[in-house]
Amino acid sequence: MQRIDGQSLAKKVQATVAQEVAQLKQEKNIVPGLAVILVGDDPASHAYVKMKAKACENVGFYSITHSMPDTISQDEIIATIEMMNANPRIDGILVQLPLPKHIDTNKILEVINPKKDVDGFHAYNVGRLVTGLDCFVACTPLGVMKMFEEYNIELRGKDVCVVGASNIVGKPMASLLLNAEATVTITHIHTKDLKAHTSRADIVVVGVGVPGLIKEDMVKEGAIVIDIGINRIADGSLVGDVDFKHVSPKCSYITPVPGGVGPMTIAMLLSNTLKSAKARV
């Protein structure tokens, strides 16, 4: 069993980004800029946004965080996005999800200029991803693809089971895998027999937010298991969606939580923002 080390791969990606940022600044006087919009006071969202801002600082980006109370109106959020769309120093706009219930998330995401949609959530980028065209791809699934590449994990013809069909993770993950010529099954909360699907897969990718959902008897011997879940349990520790202790001995490769996919999400956000800055006209 080999652990896929997201922490060191993320560091490697960030070092490359930092180097390219320095070059971009020197050659074209461009400093990549990221705007983060944070609504409400969800502690996990605050923690993620803080990590994103810190990562921006570390690679030499300009970054601003617009923090808003959860009483804010949809129109006020839209006005802030429009301001960021028009700001030439901003290459990437990220609206931290989830948004409060009175806000229509799809409406908000549609306002972001697709050229600044470094989260890859706008329908324009989703459509281009499905079609196999160049676009901004959601950071978490993109980070998983980077891990496969780093560990020389072949995807063509593999049976991959994606557990979870969210717009943020499962659906873009399935599109990327399909584009890489894997045979993809997507399961979700209404799937009749989850185990029947996971246990025949060469690769299981799970991101649903249910601690320990994937158990030992649900994966085959030698499987590759990618755990996107990050759950804080009662004792305060962070665990994934996979029962790591019992599943890992069966795997050829597995990602730990923490230190697996999590750090890659931020690394890919930096990489997407740099890509946007390079495309400035």
Q: Is 85 exposed, middle or buried (0-12, 13-18, 19+ CB in 10 A)?
A: middle
- Residue 158 CB contacts under 8 Å (≥ 6 apart), including other chains: 182, 183, 202, 203
Q: How far is the CB of 173 from ligand GUN (least distance, A)?
A: 12
Q: Does 265 bind ligand GUN (CB under 6 A)?
A: yes
Catalytic residue among 5, 14, 52, 158: 52
Residues 154-213 that bind ligand GUN (CB under 6 A): 168
Catalytic site includes residue 96: yes
Question: How far is it, in rounded angstroms, from Cα 224 to Cα 154?
Answer: 11
User: Which residue shows structure tokens 């922490």?
Assistant: 7
What CA–CA distances, in Å, run from 90 to 112, 128, 199? 12, 22, 45
Checking DSSP bridges between strand 231-232 and strand 238-239, what pairing results, if any? antiparallel
Please give the torsion angle defined by the CA atoms of residues 207, 209, 212 and 215, in that order, rounded to the nearest 10 degrees: -30
User: Across-strand partners of 225?
Assistant: 204, 254
Catalytic site includes residue 52: yes
Q: How far is the CB of 93 from ligand GUN (least distance, A)?
A: 10
Neighbours of 120 (CB within 10 A): 24
Catalytic site includes residue 5: no
Q: How far is the CB of 114 from ligand GUN (least distance, A)?
A: 15
Collapsing DSSP to helix, strand or coil, 151 comes out as coil
Q: Does 94 bind ligand GUN (CB under 6 A)?
A: yes
Residue 198 or 265 having the CB closest to ligand GUN = 265
Q: Which helix (H) or strand (E) holds 178?
A: helix 170-179
> Interacting stretch for ligand GUN, rule CB under 6 A, among 8-16, 88-96, 175-183, 244-252?
88-96
Q: Does 20 bind ligand GUN (CB under 6 A)?
A: no
Number of residues that bind ligand GUN (CB under 6 A): 9
Q: Does 125 bind ligand GUN (CB under 6 A)?
A: no
Work out which of 53, 97, 153, 238 binds ligand GUN, going by CB under 6 A. Answer: 97
Q: How far is the CB of 95 from ligand GUN (least distance, A)?
A: 6
Q: Does 117 bind ligand GUN (CB under 6 A)?
A: no
- Chain residues binding ligand GUN by CB under 6 A are 94-97, 119, 139-140, 168, 265
Q: Looking at the annotation, which residues are catalytic?
A: 52, 96, 119
